[in-house]
């Protein structure tokens, strides 16, 4: 989807977009503002489409299920088989097919089958997202969050995470029962009712640090673990079972304040963080250095400070153009 170029016509062919322009609700505003944050390259097309949409007025029409099914069948026959635009009815040909059929039925009818929103952050970038239920997510650098833009149907609240994020989950109830909130990571699921926690899903491992409340982890093999505030749990695909220990939760969410805290971290962990935050590839010429202890607090958005700090402790060769770092002395042989 990120590789496609959208035109104003593409947005005008989308019902959710038209509702936002002509009859906005808080849910519409939430969806489109977050979408524009994630896709600023499409803002010009969106602005032009909004101006055009202001000139259009549609009659309200409620089709029967049979009529709606007929429209969808026509759309699927007319739509080009193109991937990468799951959110949109592509182009004027599809819109025209809808218009011709629905005009015959006595009005206009648009529909949208997919309502997912994907937020991605670049290296050294962070973003705060407000979810439909009022929960907030701080998304760390080089991370992706996916969720449905509407949670009004009473289903469980769900998001899908790749990378790292800090969640502040609002408590919700339906029919006097708490509505659970689930973070899907691929390796495991994190289930909560209302709490604050940090989740990292990098390198075939999931790490959860609980700041307050209570969460339950469930691995793909059905293994479960419940965390209390101050607990860190990690599940690595290369190892069996959860590993759990007590930590200072603030250290693991300090990136929200633009700080990365290394407390008795290994040099290998620092090298991995350098890649996660800035995209630098680190090579250790001497594997005996990998376990060396490193302790520092570094800015989350300034790679030069990281490189200068490493240079004071280890022999470092840096190629900034290629974003490569070599640590250790070359072998004399």
Neighbours of 279 (CB within 10 A): 14
- Cite the DSSP H helix spans in the chain: 8-12, 15-22, 26-38, 43-53, 65-78, 91-105, 249-252, 267-278, 303-313
Question: What CA–CA distance (Å, rounded) separates 306 from 321?
Answer: 16
24/99 same-domain check: yes
Q: Is residue 1 part of a domain?
A: no
Q: Choose among 40, 38, 56, 52: nearest CA to 8.
A: 52
237/272 same-domain check: no
Sign of the CA dihedral 26, 28, 31, 34?
A: negative
At 254, is the secondary structure helix, strand, or coil? helix
The count of domains in the chain is: 3
126/217 same-domain check: yes
Q: Is residue 73 part of a domain?
A: yes
Question: What CA–CA distance (Å, rounded) separates 1 from 144?
Answer: 14
Residue that terminates a domain, selected from 252, 276, 303: 252
Let me know: does 165 contact 139? Beta carbons within 8 Å.
Answer: yes
Look at residue 138 in the predicted model and tell me its pLDDT: 95
Which residue matches tokens 């640590």?
A: 327
Q: Is residue 190 part of a domain?
A: yes
138/224 same-domain check: yes
98/128 same-domain check: no
Let me know: does 305 contact 270? Beta carbons within 8 Å.
Answer: no
Q: Is residue 2 part of a domain?
A: no
Mean pLDDT by 10 residues, the chain (333 residues): 65 78 74 81 81 53 56 54 41 44 35 64 90 91 89 77 95 81 90 89 90 89 88 84 92 95 92 93 88 92 92 85 83 51
At 131, is the secondary structure helix, strand, or coil? coil
Q: Choose among 246, 277, 282: nearest CA to 261.
A: 277
Residue that terminates a domain, selected from 105, 138, 155: 105
Let me know: does 46 contact 131? Beta carbons within 8 Å.
Answer: no
122/248 same-domain check: yes
220/161 same-domain check: yes
12/97 same-domain check: yes
Sign of the CA dihedral 33, 38, 41, 42?
A: negative
278/236 same-domain check: no
C-alpha dihedral (201, 206, 211, 213), degrees to nearest 10: 110
Residue that terminates a domain, selected from 80, 105, 130: 105
Q: Long-range contact list for 234-239, CB < 8 A, 24+ apart? A: 234/205, 234/206, 234/207, 234/208, 235/187, 235/188, 235/205, 235/206, 236/204, 236/205, 237/187, 237/204, 237/205, 238/204, 238/205
- Cite the DSSP H helix spans in 89-242: 91-105
Look at residue 76 in the predicted model and tell me its pLDDT: 56
User: In CATH, what number is assigned to the domain containing residue 157?
Assistant: 2.60.120.1440
Look at residue 250 in the predicted model and tell me its pLDDT: 95
Look at residue 154 in the predicted model and tell me its pLDDT: 57
Structural domain boundaries enclosing 71 = 8-105
Q: Is residue 68 part of a domain?
A: yes
61/146 same-domain check: no
124/222 same-domain check: yes
Q: Is residue 332 part of a domain?
A: no
Going from the C-alpha of 198 to that of each of 2, 126, 127, the distances in angstroms are 27, 14, 14
Let me know: does 185 contact 144? Beta carbons within 8 Å.
Answer: no
Look at residue 89 in the predicted model and tell me its pLDDT: 41
Look at residue 160 in the predicted model and tell me its pLDDT: 95
Look at residue 104 in the predicted model and tell me its pLDDT: 39
237/120 same-domain check: yes
Question: What CA–CA distance (Å, rounded) separates 317 from 314?
Answer: 10
Q: Choose among 202, 158, 157: nearest CA to 184.
A: 158
The tokens for 225 are: 């673990």
User: In CATH, what number is assigned to the domain containing residue 289?
Assistant: 3.55.50.30
Let me know: does 42 contact 84? Beta carbons within 8 Å.
Answer: no
């Amino acid at each position: 989807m990120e590789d496609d170029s959208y035109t104003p016509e593409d947005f005008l062919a989308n019902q959710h977009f038209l509702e936002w322009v002509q009859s906005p609700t808080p849910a519409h505003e939430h969806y489109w503002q977050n979408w524009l944050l994630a896709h600023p390259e499409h803002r010009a097309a969106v602005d032009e489409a909004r101006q055009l949409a202001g000139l259009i007025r549609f009659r309200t029409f409620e089709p029967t299920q049979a009529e709606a099914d007929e429209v969808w069948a026509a759309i699927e026959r007319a739509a080009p088989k193109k991937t990468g635009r799951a959110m949109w009815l592509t182009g004027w040909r599809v819109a025209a097919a809808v218009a011709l059929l629905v005009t015959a039925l006595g009005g206009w009818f648009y529909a949208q089958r997919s309502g997912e929103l994907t937020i991605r952050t670049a290296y050294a970038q962070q973003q705060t997202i407000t979810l439909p239920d009022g929960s907030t997510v701080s998304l760390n650098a080089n991370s992706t969050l996916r969720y449905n833009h509407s949670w009004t149907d009473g289903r469980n609240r769900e998001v899908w995470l790749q990378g790292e994020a800090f969640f502040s989950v609002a408590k919700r109830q339906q029919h006097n029962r708490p509505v659970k909130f689930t973070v899907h990571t691929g390796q495991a699921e994190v289930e909560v009712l209302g709490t604050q926690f940090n989740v990292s899903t990098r390198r075939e491992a999931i790490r959860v640090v609980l700041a307050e409340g209570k969460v339950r982890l469930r691995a793909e093999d059905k293994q479960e673990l419940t965390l209390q505030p101050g607990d860190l749990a990690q599940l690595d695909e290369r190892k069996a079972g959860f590993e759990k220990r007590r930590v200072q939760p603030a250290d693991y969410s300090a990136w929200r304040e633009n700080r990365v805290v290394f407390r008795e971290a290994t040099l290998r962990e620092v090298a991995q963080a350098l890649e996660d935050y800035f995209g630098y590839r680190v090579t250790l010429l001497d594997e005996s250095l990998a376990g060396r202890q490193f302790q520092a607090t570094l800015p989350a958005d300034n790679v030069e400070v990281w490189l200068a700090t490493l240079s004071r402790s280890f022999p470092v060769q840096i190629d900034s153009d290629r974003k490569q770092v070599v640590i250790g002395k070359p072998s004399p042989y």
